[in-house]
Amino acid sequence: MSAPAENHSLYHNLKLGPLTLEGNLVLGPMAGYTDRAFRALCSDAGASMTCTEMVSTEGLVRDSRNTFNLLLVSPLERAPAIQLFGSEPGTFAQAVRRIPSGRFAAVDINCGCPVPKVVKTGAGAALMTEPLKIAQIIRAVRSETDLPVTIKIRTGWDDRSLTYLQTGELAQDAGAAAVCLHCRTRSQFYTGRPDYAAAAKLKAALDIPVIVSGDLFTPADVKNVLMQTRCDGAMIARGAIGRPYVFSQTISLLQTGAFTEPALKHKTGLFLRQLELMAADRGELTACREMRKHVPFLLKGIPGSARVRQACSVAETIESYKQALGSL
């Protein structure tokens, strides 16, 4: 099947300053989900870039062991980025000095996390009320690294404070290599319809790449929003939980106009591979308990899976998961 003409330009390499990504589909950072086991599977499925869970600049500066544990990367990751959150330019600069040399391909600055415990410190989406500070942070980070520096932002704090255009322009002037826009305000959190028109406006206003984010759960979602906004790339986050193969499906759709649904055995095989990779990092018991939250995403839409979901909710060994999933 030949690809429709409009699909050819939707999937392409993406240049972030000195870095060229193979493709333009990025795995978004998600606290509690994007550990290196999950990132490895997404990379293997075609994710062009992966992002760590949010890493605290304060934690790096204070040599927090838990913080440094977030910096593990997999050899399968094509272009791993470290995502930093914090509120002060000086602390960002100090934190960047502590990033292990040669491990990451880019540094991303979180200006979009809506979680109250992050926002109350002046970090995450709180920075959308201070576009000038975001520019200061970018300059502080760039002063300490030759890696491309990107930012992830929202449209603003609320509908009365839409600062994404100003932020994007200031970020570009400060030397950012790309801007990723989650097309919601902080007040929306993850509810309501994303304002993809904002991404189109930001793309039209900037010369650096713009990556669109927000409610991209299926290959069709990605294709439609890329066609609508003409953004340079797309970030898939929640849409990849339990479905790392969404990246290969999306690449197929953008390149050929069609994609296939993996067999159930393939899906459960990926789940078990992720479990085993996580167990190698964190121990079998911890991994088994952590993977329970991935189960509903894996089993969504599968008839008669309630019994399997229940079995997985108490599984504490890899073998228990294998037996439960093998009964599907």
274 token code pair = 């992720």
Catalytic (active site) residue 113: yes
Looking at residue 3, its pLDDT comes to: 39
Q: Predicted confidence band at 7 (pLDDT cuts at 50, 70, 90)?
A: low
Does pLDDT of 4 surpass 90? no
Distances (CA, A) of 56 to 1, 70, 88, 117, 215: 47, 10, 11, 12, 25
When pLDDT is cut at 50, 70 and 90, the band that residue 1 belongs to is very low
Host H or E run for residue 90: helix 89-97
Distance separating alpha carbons of residues 324 and 312, to the nearest angstrom: 7
Residue 203: pLDDT band with limits 50, 70, 90: very high
Outline where 122-245 has alpha helix (H): 131-142, 164-174, 196-205, 219-229
The per-residue pLDDT for 123 is 97
Give the chain's mean pLDDT: 95
Share of the chain above pLDDT 90, in %: 95
- The two tokens of residue 301 are 């839409």
Q: Which of 102-106, 175-179, 300-304, 312-316 has the lowest mean pLDDT?
A: 300-304
What is the pLDDT at residue 328? Answer: 87
Mean predicted confidence (pLDDT) in 134-148: 98
- What pLDDT was estimated at residue 56? 97
pLDDT the model gives residue 9: 85
Q: pLDDT tens for residues 78-134? A: 999 999 999 999 999 999 999 999 999 999 999 999 999 999 999 999 999 999 999
The DSSP string of 268-308 is HHHHHHHHHHHHHHH-HHHHHHHHGGGHHHHHTT-TT-HHH
Q: Is the pLDDT of residue 193 over 60?
A: yes
Please give the full DSSP string across 24-86, using - where no structure is assigned: SEEEPP-TTT-SHHHHHHHHHTT-SBEEPSPEEHHHHHTT-HHHHHTT---TT-SSEEEEEE-
CA torsion, points 297, 301, 306, 310, in degrees to nearest 10? -10
Asked if pLDDT for residue 36 goes beyond 80, the answer is yes
pLDDT surpasses 90 at 136? yes
Domains located in the chain, CATH noted: 5-256 (3.20.20.70), 264-326 (1.10.1200)
Among 111, 113, 231, 288, the active-site one is 113
Query: What percentage of the chain exceeds 70 in pLDDT?
Result: 98
Query: Residue 152: what residue type?
Result: K
